[in-house]
Amino acid sequence: MKSSIQGSTSRREFIKTTGKVAAASALANVAIPYVHAAGSDLIQIVLIGCGGRGTGAAANALSVKRGPIKLVAMADLFPDRLQSSLNRLQSRYASQMDVPPDRQFLGFDANRKAMDCLKPGDIAIFTTPPAFRWVHFTYAIEKGLNVFMEKPVTVDGPTSKRMLKLAQDASDKNLKVGVGLMSRHSRALQELADRVHNGEIGDIILQRGYRMSGPGGYFLSLPKPADITDLLYQIKRFHSFIWASGGCYNDFYIHIIDHLAWMKNDWPVKAQALGGRHYKVSPEGVAYVDQNFDTYSVEYTYSDGTKFYMDGRCMDGAQEIYSSYLHGTKGMGIASKSGDCGPPSSTYHSQTPAAADMIWESKVPHDERDPYQNEWNDLMDAIRDDKPYNEVPRGVQASLTSSMGRMAANTGREITFDQMLNCDFEMAPDVDKLTMDSPSPLPPDANGRYPVPQPGITTTREY
């Protein structure tokens, strides 16, 4: 990786470009009007990536207020995951399921086969590991499909630039694209943002975010079993490997990073960080081979000098704190009381959340309390009413800001937004060419172990 940014894109230029994408989206009605599938009110969807989050996203899609909608194809690398997802969805949404065996696709080309089942204006759901996001998005744009993609949307600088260009292409074709940063669709956080931006707690001078809990997802991974290739093992346990997911830092912490940046109405310009591996041996004494740190503590800095502290910990038995806060010159706010965006949000006259000092606490109608469902209802409204809708630029910014914090911890160096954006180390440059027999972008050593970050030793790339 080259750390020099001579002749490269600056943060100012990047943000200016994201604004242009938004403007192009606002003028989308002059482009080809892919409103919904031609000749019918029925919108068809396909699910690409059939894990737990993919199944949840498909369930939200099939529960939208403005149907009719039907799932017509599914794609994954692993047949057991596809079958499990199919069974769960079939048990709840049988009348909206039309996924016969010949539309259940497996392999690295399964995404294309699934999207080939759709017409322009239908929706492709991307819930694979984010390393594949740009590959799938490219084909969806070519096919004229609307898209819902999970976060993160990128894991490094080169793919961030690529995704931003694809976002422009999608807006040019009047495609609607949602990104799974559901905090932006929390009605409590939307009202909090309005109040903060209107000065209710003054100018923001400090932000704090915490996700400190036991290990979750695929945070930890034992040595690869003999019956699976390195490539498929790393994809299956994607949280453990930075090239596939951005590691636990990007996947677990991006929601709090995103919604606190929203409250500030800005993105940090740099980060410095601490991180370490502490308990990387199983109870049976076997060393874990994942690339994650057990702890992260990142200090982000905005252009005006305001600090944002993001603390993460994945350890059993330690105190659990999973919430986010903002402090202003006239008081403070609780953004998420519990979880990624758990209500109620609230504001206070003082710097402590005392009941006597409360200004406001969110109260949301029952049918709008689920931000996962809200984001699908909002996307469907945009499709049905042909409203401009493209969340990719913000998704890229949130992903890049997460990667900036991760790289600062992994290298032991201060990393600026510009350095992260222009870092030329693409972790999986040929991910679009992978087959079931391909070697992994992250090869193991002779002992079956994978490279891990070494802050202060490996400082120009993360491993």
Query: Element (H or E) spanning 12, and its range?
Result: helix 11-26
pTM greater than 0.85 (yes/no): yes
CB neighbour list of residue 30: distance below 8 Å, 6 or more residues apart: none
Side chain identity at residue 101, one-letter code? P
Side chain identity at residue 10, one-letter code? S
Half-sphere exposure of residue 355, counting CA atoms within 13 Å on the CB side? Answer: 0
Tokens 């669709």 found at: 185
Q: Which two tokens stand for residue 171?
A: 């807006």
The closest of 248, 309, 256 to 277, measured between CA atoms, is 248
Q: Check if the beta carbon of residue 240 is closer than 8 Å to that of residue 215.
A: no
Q: Give ranges for CATH 3.40.50.720 in the chain.
A: 11-183+372-388
- Strands 270-276 and 415-416, sheet pairing: antiparallel
- Does the 186-370+400-422 domain belong in CATH 3.30.300.100? no
Q: Give ranges for CATH 3.30.360.10 in the chain.
A: 186-370+400-422
Print pLDDT tens along the chain (463 aa): 443 333 478 777 777 777 667 555 554 444 444 445 444 699 999 999 999 999 999 999 999 999 999 999 999 999 999 999 999 999 999 999 999 999 999 999 999 999 999 999 999 999 999 999 999 999 999 999 999 999 999 999 999 999 999 999 999 999 999 999 999 999 999 999 999 999 999 999 999 999 999 999 999 999 999 999 999 999 999 999 999 999 999 999 999 999 999 999 999 999 999 999 998 999 999 999 999 999 999 999 999 999 999 999 999 999 999 999 999 999 999 999 999 999 999 999 999 999 999 999 999 999 999 999 999 999 999 999 999 999 999 999 999 999 999 999 999 999 999 999 999 999 999 999 999 999 999 999 988 899 999 999 999 999 9
- Does the 11-183+372-388 domain belong in CATH 3.40.50.150? no
